[in-house]
Amino acid sequence: MTPASPLDSRLNRRALLKGLGGATAAFAAAPLLAACSGGTAPSGTAGTAGTAAKATSLGSGLSDPVPRSAIQAMVDAYKAKSGATVKMNVMPRAQLVDNISSYLQSNPEDAITWFAGYKMRYYAAKGLLAPVDDVWEQIGGNFSEGLTTASQGDDGKKYFVPNYNYPWGFFYRKSLWTERGYQIPATFDAFLALCAQMKKDGLIPIAFADKDGWPAMGTFDYINMRTNGYQFHLDLCAHKESWDQQKVKDVFDHWKALLPYQDKAALGATWQEGARSMTGKKSGMYLVGSFIAQDVTDQAVLADLDFFPFPAIAVEGTDAIEAPIDGFVLSKRGGSNKAAKDMLAFFGSGAGQDAYAAKDPSNLQTAKDADTSSFSELNRKCAAAIAAAKNISQFFDRDALPAMANNVMIPALQGFIKDGTIDTRNIEAQAKTLYAAE
């Protein structure tokens, strides 16, 4: 899969805030996707063999090799089961995410890989997604209450079918920690002491990579939840709380204590390069999602991976976990294609999700009837961490207004990583403008 973590970097503000209301601005921003997309007309049926051909399409932003092969396996399993034809349009993740508004208003595929959270509700509220309540009539019993809630729009209708989720935590090599005698820290003070020891031992304490802008949001989310609580995270993302207040400044003060221990090359590194720093034992640990396993081809190294939750700071201890949910939505046109809905119903089944997991075992199937017998020790630990969490966050860029995440937070966090300064007054001023436009 692609991280979520994934992350609308450099999303065009005009397309989001103005183009949603009219086709002119939307189509002006569409070339990147329009050139390579084009779903089937809504004429496909879901009849039995011998009736009109069943046809649908899927637009996927899962273009990295592992998730790409997993999505293909999922589609192939559906085709074998249904006899339908499925036209695939696989594009770079950034291409899909950065241009999603214009894509949905131009010539999108019927079904699209997407995310739970505000990022789904936002486009549903703009009328750019089709509700899938009839799909949920078939698959509803296969998902937990939390997953069901995460699939709803603001109008109470379902717009999303979950595929997998994955926790964020500090991943590390068990053999390195055993060799050096490191212990898992339960508190922030103990964590800082561990970082100091790792630095003394010649390691980069925390692998860090933010070339693409989105990874740093995971650090912000965790420090914010640990400092101010899960509800404050939601309220800040929704701009029900001001950015220019002491609670937010406290978050950056805590983060500033970590800056001396994070990789200095972070702004020029991809998340995969950060992963290799940790797996290569150049860094002691790495705050990232469990999708890190996608980048590990050595089975001995994979078996040597473990993780621990972000340590307690103040309010919620370790009760909240960052565990984004990835899945599928239907474009407005796709909502009139029964074959598209049948495909999403299959994707919401254990059989569909098992086909995906067979190619990408780094993520955790969400369907209750999925086969978890082949879970690795790391998979089981990830699943247990999610199950034990009191609250599950969806990552800042999914819980916040898209333009806020991309136009404001990415440059603000990258500036903070560079020199340790942050202007919360400026962030608040921009937030007021963006949210008022809604």
Query: Is the distance from CB of 366 to CB of 164 less than 8 angstroms?
Result: yes
Query: Is the distance from CB of 29 to CB of 23 less than 8 angstroms?
Result: no
Answer yes or no: same fold for 13-165+326-369 and 168-322+398-436.
Answer: yes
pLDDT at 53: 56
Query: Is the distance from CB of 333 to CB of 128 less than 8 angstroms?
Result: no
**Which pTM value belongs to this model?**
0.79
Position of tokens 């996927």?
Answer: 60
pLDDT at 392: 86
What is the three-class DSSP state of 210? coil
DSSP 263: -
List the chain domain ranges: 13-165+326-369, 168-322+398-436
pLDDT at 362: 87
| Class for the domain spanning 168-322+398-436 | alpha beta
pLDDT at 315: 80
Q: What's the pLDDT tens digit per position in 256-280?
A: 999 999 999 999 999 999 999 999 9
Q: What share of the chain is helix, strand, coil (3-state, %, to 5)?
A: 50, 15, 35
CA 40/CA 26 separation, integer angstroms: 21
pLDDT at 93: 87
Residues of the chain with pLDDT under 70: 1-53
Start-to-end C-alpha separation, the chain: 31
263-302-203 Cα angle (round to 5): 25
CA 228/CA 325 separation, integer angstroms: 23
pLDDT at 317: 79
Fold for the domain defined by 13-165+326-369: D-Maltodextrin-Binding Protein; domain 2 (3.40.190)
What is the three-class DSSP state of 316? coil
pLDDT at 12: 37
The H or E element that residue 133 is part of is helix 133-139
pLDDT at 43: 41
DSSP 127: T
